[in-house]
């Protein structure tokens, strides 16, 4: 030891070199600071601003169809990077599909690290409930992520699984991104609730004697009331309206699950040093190829599927994934990257989902590279750079596009769903760009022996079908309903379509 160094200073120096020091909390970055950190890593000095969704703004998004395709030619889905044509299913699986996955992982969504810790599932509640008039088995679960490598962060995936109780054998199931809540939690009978309230009153008055006068004035007041049922996550029960999604699934003999994305990874840039991304990175900011929130939600859904594969009430080979808007993006990424999911209902997903990155209509690459950067890999910022190392790089330079994301789902079932701008499914989402992407994905479905949309025109000239006209004959499906920013009006069509293709017989009530 240096004789001039005090013992306490030497001890601090030793501690700084130990693993304990690496476990100390790091300062929490704001989204702006985190975004700037990634820009610094990439050598980007300034990003191009994204367009405004306000059509009266000077920087409004483009809605002129003559300007919508500045880069009209997409990467050919069945041509290898070397220029060699893919002519067989074997070439697709062994050569082309891995190339496409590499492009998406490196430049768009990021890589799932090899050292992501294990998830241990625990059933917290397992009870019989009712959804509408259907008896169900409802389970509330927590998937605890092993944090022994970095105990300063906890990640517990919240999931609810609901299956019909009046069917024989396992059932197909649709996993949805959303809050994890029991549909109708079992309640104690009134006599037990009266005993609970009497005990609570006694405890409260014992802690604060002035409360007795309040209870005497309001003799019917119960400190502990009955729990409200969870929202049904569907359209309101108006005359002529379809039942909520959950009720439609159960009535047909399906189960459903809700996995809570926020329990996996926060939906903001400030959360990137927390959640599963922060846990793996031990609280440090991401590197350019690290995964973003979309890929993290995909990973969490796959861990939910791990549990479902152990549930005897679930037909694990027929589990689907569903989401709308940002969760529609996540649902498509999940279906593309996790081959154990058999089907997907992809609702109003827009840019980063089913819509082409190369299209200039509504939401732009700059929108994701700036405000939505945390959904994506850091490298995606390069395509919105205005100044610095990647200045002037645009979507044209992307090695992949969304038609290839849809193609990664083949030959499994992919239902692309949108509403209409008049009802709130904004023009921003570029419905036509999503349809073009689906058309451009058709060759892969055909190559793998699946039926596609049945559209003969190529993606340059293909036009969307009329609203409420579905292309539902094949494993790749499209339907634009006449509702808003939801896929609920398409649920009954999805169920019928999926039933036919997986050979499921609807339940008889």
Provide DSSP, 231-286. Answer: P--S----TTPPPPHHHHHHHTT-EEEEE-GGGTS-SSGGGGGSHHHHHHTTTPPP
For position 334, what pLDDT does the model report?
98
Looking at every residue in the chain, the average pLDDT score rounds to 91
Domain enclosing residue 417, as ranges: 65-184+245-502
Query: Does residue 142 lie in a domain region?
Result: yes
Which of 64-78, 167-181, 205-219, 297-311 shows the lowest mean pLDDT across its residues?
Answer: 205-219
User: What is the pTM assigned to this prediction?
Assistant: 0.89
Rounded Cα gap, residues 434 and 160, in angstroms: 31
Q: How many domains, in total, are found in the chain?
A: 1
Query: Does residue 112 lie in a domain region?
Result: yes
- 50-77 burial, b at 16+ Cβ within 10 Å, e below that, comes to bbeeeeeeeeebbeeeeebbebeebbeb
pLDDT at 215 over 50: yes
8 Å CB contact between 300 and 157: yes
> Which residues are CB-contacts of 187 (< 8 A; sequence separation ≥ 6)?
193, 226, 227
Report the pLDDT averaged over residues 495-509: 91
Rounded Cα gap, residues 450 and 413, in angstroms: 9
CATH number of the domain where residue 297 is located: 3.40.50.1820
Give the C-alpha distances (Å, rounded to integers) separating 29 from 22, 114, 283, 365: 17, 25, 10, 24
Rounded Cα gap, residues 367 and 405, in angstroms: 19
Query: Does residue 273 lie in a domain region?
Result: yes
Query: Does residue 327 lie in a domain region?
Result: yes
pLDDT at 225 over 90: no
pLDDT class for 201, splitting at 50, 70, 90?
A: confident
**Structure-token pair, residue 196:** 């609970």
pLDDT at 14 over 50: no
8 Å CB contact between 439 and 477: no
Query: Does residue 98 lie in a domain region?
Result: yes
Rounded Cα gap, residues 400 and 358, in angstroms: 10
Query: Does residue 319 lie in a domain region?
Result: yes
Structure letter (DSSP) for residue 298? H
% the chain with pLDDT above 70: 90
Give the residue ranges of DSSP H helices in 17-120.
19-22, 31-42, 89-91, 97-104
pLDDT at 10 over 50: no
Residues 346-385 have pLDDT tens digits of: 999 999 999 999 999 999 999 999 999 999 999 999 999 9
Please state the φ and ψ torsions of residue 3, each to the nearest 5 degrees: -60, -25
pLDDT class for 22, splitting at 50, 70, 90?
A: low
Which of 91-100, 131-140, 287-296, 440-449 shows the lowest mean pLDDT across its residues?
Answer: 131-140
Query: Does residue 190 lie in a domain region?
Result: no
pLDDT at 236 over 70: no
Query: Does residue 83 lie in a domain region?
Result: yes
């Amino acid at each position: 030891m240096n004789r001039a160094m005090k013992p306490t200073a030497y001890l601090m120096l030793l501690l700084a070199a130990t693993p304990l020091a690496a476990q100390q909390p790091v300062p929490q970055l704001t989204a702006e600071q985190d975004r700037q950190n990634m820009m610094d890593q990439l050598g980007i000095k300034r990003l191009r601003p994204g367009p405004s969704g306000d059509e009266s703004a000077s920087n409004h998004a483009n809605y002129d169809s003559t300007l919508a395709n500045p880069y009209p030619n997409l990467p050919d889905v069945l041509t290898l990077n070397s220029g060699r044509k893919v002519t067989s299913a074997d070439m697709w699986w062994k050569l082309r599909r891995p190339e496409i996955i590499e492009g998406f992982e490196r430049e768009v969504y990021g890589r799932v690290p090899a050292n992501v810790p294990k998830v241990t599932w625990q059933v917290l509640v397992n009870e019989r409930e009712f959804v509408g008039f259907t008896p169900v088995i409802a389970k509330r679960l927590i998937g605890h992520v092993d944090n022994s490598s970095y105990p300063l962060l906890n990640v517990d995936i919240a999931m609810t699984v609901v299956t019909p109780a009046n069917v024989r054998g396992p059932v197909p199931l649709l996993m949805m991104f959303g809050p994890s809540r029991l549909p109708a939690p079992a309640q104690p009978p009134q006599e037990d609730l009266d005993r609970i309230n009497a005990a609570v009153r006694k405890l409260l008055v014992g802690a604060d004697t002035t409360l007795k006068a309040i209870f005497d004035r309001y003799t019917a007041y119960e400190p502990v009331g009955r729990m409200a049922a969870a929202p049904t996550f569907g359209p309101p029960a108006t005359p002529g309206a379809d039942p909520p999604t959950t009720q439609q699934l159960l009535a047909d003999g399906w189960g459903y699950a809700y996995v809570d994305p926020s329990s996996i990874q926060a939906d903001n840039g400030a959360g990137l040093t927390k959640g599963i991304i922060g846990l793996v990175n031990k609280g440090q900011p991401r590197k350019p190829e690290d995964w973003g929130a979309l890929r993290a939600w995909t990973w969490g859904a796959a861990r939910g599927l791990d549990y479902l594969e152990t549930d005897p009430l679930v037909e694990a080979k027929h589990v689907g994934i569903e989401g709308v808007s940002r969760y529609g993006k996540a649902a498509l990424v999940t279906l593309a990257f996790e081959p154990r999911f058999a089907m997907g209902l992809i609702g109003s997903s827009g840019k980063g989902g089913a819509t082409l990155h190369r299209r200039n209509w509504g939401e732009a690459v700059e929108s994701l590279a700036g405000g939505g950067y945390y959904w994506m890999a850091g490298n995606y910022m390069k395509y919105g750079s205005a100044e610095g190392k990647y200045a002037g790089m645009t979507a044209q330079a992307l090695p992949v596009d969304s038609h290839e994301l849809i193609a990664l789902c083949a030959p499994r079932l992919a239902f692309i769903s949108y509403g209409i701008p008049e009802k709130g499914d904004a023009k921003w989402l570029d419905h036509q760009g999503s349809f073009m992407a689906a058309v451009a994905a058709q060759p892969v479905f055909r190559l793998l022996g699946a039926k596609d949309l049945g559209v003969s025109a190529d993606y340059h000239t293909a036009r969307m079908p009329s609203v409420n006209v579905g292309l539902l004959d094949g494993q790749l499906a499209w339907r634009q309903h006449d509702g808003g920013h939801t896929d609920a009006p398409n649920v009954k069509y999805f169920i019928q379509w999926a039933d036919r293709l997986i050979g499921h017989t609807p339940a008889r009530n």
